[in-house]
Structure 1
């Protein structure tokens, strides 16, 4: 049953909303940007980004709901494979997004308290950093928030659940980030 969950989650993750949206608009966003919410925002604006992000979050949630119904102890398998599918989609030459939105959707079902508290910490770091320190430090807000949110997310996961899901999805995202850094033109 675990292999079925992995396969289904991967195929769900491979449905890249950003690529489908951009192709419906007559282009392939990957020619200019990544197909996740931020790339869609840069290329098509906030409305398109909200739609694409919502759909990518939904696929993470659906994958974990399926896993929960079939193998409740293996939601981490669904989380891992839905994020891998998003990053390396079978339908789109294994060239997808970064995996944030499907991980959020997976954690929304698998570990909602952990997700909520981690997002709260990220916001508490992001807002003051962006307004008070970003111009001085000259580092984008996302890595700074991640540097604080990831360790606190792991602490919350140890207390409220979702450690395996967080590590599985985060590991897939780390793989994609390394791939993008090492092969910027191929990714």
Structure 2
């Protein structure tokens, strides 16, 4: 039973909404352009070249759908009475699916929006702190990847401060999700050190 739930969470997380939206509405394969990521930032970056108004709409839709594909399954599982261990496991598998999609030969996005869906359901206050950090850095530097990584640091630090005694008695799921996000941002980190990272916000 648990394995089926984990597989379902992974397959839901694997749905490449950004790729599907860009292909259907803009006739663009975002895996061939920009950072080649399937997330909202690359949707905005790539589609913006042809249609700025459509790019913003598709980026917002991608962001919301990537958020929802983790948030909704966790809330549903919570409603059905699953314990916190199962909820966190569902969250981890949703993020894994987004970052290493079963439908895209294990390619995928950066995991930020999907991870935010997990944390909105399970650590909302820490997510809010991370979002404030993201907003400030994004406004000042206008670099999405930098804002995401700084937000991750603030989120992680606040999770240890506010929930040091996690209901499952371990920060392992949080650390796994954060590690995945950092790993997927390695190309961005390299570009930032070379001062080659694009400003898209």
State the TM-score, normalizing by the size of structure 1. 0.77
Equivalence for 1:105: 117
Equivalence for 1:154: 160
Rounded Cα–Cα distance in structure 1 between residues aligned with 2:180 and 2:77: 18
Equivalence for 1:170: 178
Measure how far apart 1:31 and its partner are: 0.5
Larger proportion of helix:
1
Segments of structure 2 that go 5 or more residues without pairing to the other structure are 48-54, 191-201
Equivalence for 1:6: 6
Pair 1:176–1:65, CA change in 2 (3 A): same
Equivalence for 1:49: 59
Task: Work out whether 1:35 is the aligned partner of 2:38.
Answer: yes
RMSD: 3.0
Once the two structures are superposed, what CA deviation does each residue of 1:124-180 show, in whole Å capped at 9, x if it has no partner? x5268x1xxx59xxx944444444443234323427868454323223323433588
Segments of structure 1 that go 5 or more residues without pairing to the other structure are 183-187
SS of 2:164 mapped into structure 1: helix
Equivalence for 1:84: 96
> 1:61-80, aligned counterparts within 5 Å?
61-68=71-78, 69=80, 71-73=82-84, 74-80=86-92
Q: 8 Å contact 1:15–1:91 — kept in the other structure?
A: yes
**Equivalences, count:** 174
Q: 8 Å contact 1:122–1:148 — kept in the other structure?
A: no
Once the two structures are superposed, what CA deviation does each residue of 1:74-112 show, in whole Å capped at 9, x if it has no partner? 211111100010011111221110111111111111222
Pair 1:165–1:156, CA change in 2 (3 A): farther
Rounded Cα–Cα distance in structure 1 between residues aligned with 2:161 and 2:91: 19
Rounded Cα–Cα distance in structure 2 between residues aligned with 1:177 and 1:9: 23
